[in-house]
Each structure stands twice: as C-alpha cells, then as structure tokens.
Structure 1
C-alpha cells in the first residue's frame, strides 16, 4: 500500500529532495524547469506557500512528488496561475492515482496545464490544448531547416527589421542572459500595461509574484535559473523576455516589447536573437507555452498537449466544471467574444 504525506516545502528532508531530483532525472518528459524543485522553492520563498505531496510505495520508497498550493479544500499546482507545465514527478511507466490527493480536508485538485502522458488523470480531463515549442538544435540555421514557411518568412523579416532599427535608432545590443534589476522592472511594467490594455487579469498585481521574478533572476544554479533577455536599439529597450531554464530547455514565459516600436515586430527580433544564441547557451528547445498567439503558431517546430480538469469525487462538481468549460469555449469562439470577456472571467472565479 502507498502512503501519502503533505508537507510544506521548507519541511522537506534531504531524502525528499534527493528523490525529487532522481525521479525527474529518470524521466525525460519532465525536463521543463517547472518540474525542477528550484521552481517550487523560489515560489515558496517569495511568499506563496507551497505544500508538497510525497508518495511512498509499499516498500517505503518515494515514488512521486507533486508541489501544490492549498486553497482551503482545493489543491492547485505550484506556481498557479502561471505554471505552464504541471503534473506529478515520477519515473517513466509509474502509476499515480490522483484520488490519493483527496483526503485530510482536500476535496479537489484543479489543473490547467497537465502535461500529456499522465493516463491516471484521464477520467478528470475536461479538455486539452497544444503547447508549442521551438527546436533550437543547431541555432538559427538548424531552426530554419525545420521551420514552416511562415516561420522562415518571419525570421527573414526580423533580420531586415533589426537592420532597420539599427539604422534609425542606434546600435543593436542583445543580452541573452543578464542580471539587471532595472530591466526586469521594465519588463514587469510593460507586461502590466499589456494586461490592462487587453483586459486580462494582472498577474503582477500581487507583490509576491513580482518578488518571484527577482528571486528567479538571481538564481544562478547550473541546473535551474531565471533568464532575462534584452534587446536594445541604441538607448532604447525594444523588447525583452523573462523566463526560466533547466538544462537545455528554456521556457518562454513573459515576453514584452515597447509599443513605440510595434511596427518593427520586436518580438520576432528578440526570438531570432535567442534562437541564434541557443548553441552557445546550451539550449536545444524553447517551450513557448500554451496559447492562441499567432506568433507561436508561426514559430513552432512542434507541440505537446496539456490538459485542463479537476480531480474530485463529486460528480455534481465535475458536471458544473464541464458546463463552465463549454460556456467559456463558446464565448471565446463567438463573434461577440470581446464583449463576453467579463462573463468568462466571472465563470472562472466559480
């Protein structure tokens, strides 16, 4: 029989953390930085309490871990709502019963980016969507050999626009991985302005989430680190990105650009520079994260699937969730979608 323990991150033992690393290292599907204990540790230290589900098999060996936030009777993946990959950390081929999460006052586990390859969760999956990525093996030349026609065309346009930006605004300067508090503050400022302009909930309204970015930027562990990339034209910060990396995987998390330079499509300029720099950075894949953005569709070389759902024993609650999901998807696909955003947000708070 298995045993399940729920512990605050700072209560984990050396055995727990060693097992976490060993399980992740044994499973190539878990190479995203979201599955590294460094991410959960940074989230917890920034003031967003993380509790970790530790599962032991019948022999007493740790067989799975799952970092979470607890909201009364509900568990959510650590880093929610900005955790772009979620799921238990376990060895390939291992089984994990989601119902083991329930008990001790916990009535549900909600997920919205569950990584494919977790068949034990299938009864609770409500929908699945693609999460695109860019294979950067071989740098820009390698990418162009794999990219779609649209991806190649946009990279070519980015090269020409970079030259134009240099002519009109000054020398182009690209920093692939810099520790710059002022630049990070500007990234957050631009992202908050984008949220306000598009009516999306402001992720950075909460101070702990801003603190998380600073903590990650200053994390320099070879196996896990925050990555701040900036693109300047003369004195102007044209575009920037803050994400995380683990090994050869970079997660594209918070890209921004200065609206004053929107005519140059600066996001593509920045992405081109990152793809070009990938070999010297040791990056072989950039995960773009789930989303309907057109640039992701054009830039991707492949995709994985992530799913949304709720693990619960309540059939009524599950039915309500499925109805909610159907209404949200119908609202998104409707010609009236812009006017229905407020309705969608209200449903999401249920």
Structure 2
C-alpha cells in the first residue's frame, strides 16, 4: 500500500473521478460530506486540510480527508460541522492505521461521526451513537404515505397548520433549490438568533463557517450540490434549510425559521416538503445527522450508527491530547444521553442565551450578513 498526501484543491481530475467512483460503489460513502468538494470547501476557508490517497498497484483506491494541526494532532475534515466521516475506499480495501497516521504526519486523528463500517478504526472507537435517516422510498407508496401510516396524528396536524398558515399569511409555497443568496443570508440571521436564544455557540459568528457555506452554495456538481430550500407564505420567507446533496443522499444541516411563525411548526413543515421533493428528484436518503431531537424521531425510518473516538499511534502528544479531550466528550455525551441531566442543562443554556440576547439588543448588535 502506497500513500500520498495532497491538498484538496490540488487533486487532479483523475483522482477526483476515482474518489467519486469509490462513493458510488458503496452506499456507506454516498454522503455528500464525504465528497472531495466538501473537503475542498473546508480547505479554502480553514487552513490545514489534506487528503491521504491510498494506492494499490499504482491505482488510487482510498481517500482520507483530514485536518492537521500543531504537533501532529489531526481531526476529520470539518469536525464539528460534518455529519459523516470516513476513509472513502473501494470495496475490499483495508489499511494499517499506524502506517496511515505516519504517512499523514499525525499522532492522533479525532472523529465524531465515523461510518460504522470503518473496521481498521474500530479499536479506537470510544462510543457508537444513533444517526437517524429517512428512506425517501421506504415502501411501494413512498415516504409521505409511509409517514401518514406511521404517524397519522402528526401528518394530520401538520397539514392543518399548513392550511392555517396559508389563510393567515398567504399561499404556502416551497422552493427546493432556491438560488437567491439573500435567502441564504436570511437563514444565517435566523440561525444565529436561534443559537443565541438557546445559549449555543453561534456558528455563523465565525467568518470561516460563513465563507464555507457561501462557497458550498455555489457548488453545482453531480456528487455535491449546495441546496438552499425555502418555505414561503405569500412572498414572505417563513423557514429555510441549507445542506449538501450528493447523487443519492441529502444531508439535513442548517434549518431555521422566523420565530413569529413558530406556532405553525415551520421547521417540521420544511423537512416534510424537503423529503417529498428530494424523493421526486431521485434522492434515496435524507440524513438527519446524529443527535436526539423529537422531530428526528418522528421523521426517521431507521438509524445508522456513527462512532466517535481517537485513532492514535504511540506518542506522548497523542496520549496527552486523548487525556484532555476524552473527559470533555464524555461529560457532553452523559448529559445528552440522560433526560434528567439534559433538560436542566438546556434550561440553563436558554437562560444564558436570553441574557446574551437582551444585552446584544440593547447594544444594537447585528447578525451575519447585516449591513
């Protein structure tokens, strides 16, 4: 096995075709977060991104996108944003993890959404977590009919709210692939406000993330397209979603809505419209991403398993990094796994968020994309 290291933006057409072919050959690797276009986007807006290319008999057969930091500390490309991570490879390919890390110049490689199939990384997985997905054609009749059968009350209530929204605010219409960049900015403003209200870190306060989303919005390729979907009532945007799509998988990523319309459940309405339209366009799966949310339990048809952990080779820096990072991840996972802990923590974060929002409003702060 030969391993070469490249910058994502330096991959030639031959290597990109080989990467796409590996995605096509295994459904586990069809996720758009595993496409070279996503790695190139991260590379363009945050330094340190690389790709290890595995060769057998001089043919490229595997691709590991990663970010390399100080002292050889590495992480999956887009860690914290990417909802799917893997060494994308052709069927039957395997590798020695220590050899791979040495070739990458890494002593440690951190991941949190690793595809379960990645057996050579298996010994380094510290936890497996459910990642719900929606099969857009789960039966002969399709997903909307499946959902109506599985959750008749939910479907009936959502349709009733949609009719009420139409009466109150104007005819409801849905655009699956909206190309107006102003709507992308509106989504970012809504999402920033949501992060602040709930006490979460505002991802859109980080310029590199804003730049990455802007970049991906412009990508229109077969294996990766940035899709902005918008739900309108009359001419007014009510909810929006931005996420990447491959040939067969749509990843649910950033969803937000106008809080004025919260009583209509616009976020749920948005996901139902997205699932229906994506299925019509030939997408087979909508990946909702790891995390416990009530709407995911309603929408999912099944669950994948994704792993988190640290692949390491013997080195004092790797040991120190693991000792520092594992308790942080362990505490977070413990809180998320137990409702008695999660609910008080969520209330605390919302209280902090409301205080931050109040201070920001009195100071005249603005969100991303504001003048």
Fold shared, TM-score > 0.5 on shorter chain: yes
Q: Distance in 2 between matches of 1:97 and 1:125?
A: 15
Partner of 1:217: 217
Deviation, 1:340, is 7.8
Q: Distance in 1 between matches of 2:141 and 2:239?
A: 23
Partner of 1:27: 26
Q: Distance in 1 between matches of 2:142 and 2:190?
A: 32
1:67–1:78 Cα contact (<8 Å) kept:
yes
Q: Distance in 2 between matches of 1:138 and 1:338?
A: 34
Q: Distance in 1 between matches of 2:148 and 2:156?
A: 12
Q: Distance in 1 between matches of 2:112 and 2:319?
A: 19
Deviation, 1:35, is 1.6
Taking the TM superposition and a 5 Å limit, the aligned residue runs for 1:217-256 are 217-256=217-256
Taking the TM superposition and a 5 Å limit, the aligned residue runs for 1:111-150 are 111-137=111-137, 142-147=142-147
2:196–2:202 Cα contact (<8 Å) kept:
yes
Distance 1:222 1:165, change over 3 A: same
Deviation, 1:259, is 1.0
Deviation, 1:83, is 0.5
Q: Which runs of 5+ in 1 are unaligned?
A: 343-350
Partner of 1:172: 172
Taking the TM superposition and a 5 Å limit, the aligned residue runs for 1:72-221 are 72=70, 73-103=72-102, 105-137=105-137, 142-147=142-147, 151-221=151-221
Per-residue CA distance 1:159-202 (angstroms, 9 max, x = gap): 11110001011111210111111100011111111111122222
SS for the counterpart of 1:220 is: coil
Taking the TM superposition and a 5 Å limit, the aligned residue runs for 1:263-302 are 263-302=263-302
Q: Distance in 2 between matches of 1:224 and 1:276?
A: 20
Deviation, 1:205, is 1.9
2:130–2:306 Cα contact (<8 Å) kept:
yes
SS for the counterpart of 2:91 is: coil
Q: Distance in 2 between matches of 1:145 and 1:166?
A: 23
Alignment RMSD, CA only? Answer: 2.5
Per-residue CA distance 1:16-75 (angstroms, 9 max, x = gap): 223212222222211111122122122223445521111223x23222111111121211
With 42-51 and 200-209 compared, the bigger mean Cα shift is at 42-51
Q: Which runs of 5+ in 2 are unaligned?
A: 351-371
SS for the counterpart of 1:131 is: strand
Q: Distance in 1 between matches of 2:119 and 2:295?
A: 31
Q: Distance in 1 between matches of 2:165 and 2:349?
A: 36
2:31–2:249 Cα contact (<8 Å) kept:
yes
With 314-323 and 105-114 compared, the bigger mean Cα shift is at 314-323
Q: Distance in 2 between matches of 1:184 and 1:159?
A: 26
2:144–2:276 Cα contact (<8 Å) kept:
no
Distance 1:20 1:265, change over 3 A: same
State how many pairs are aligned.
340
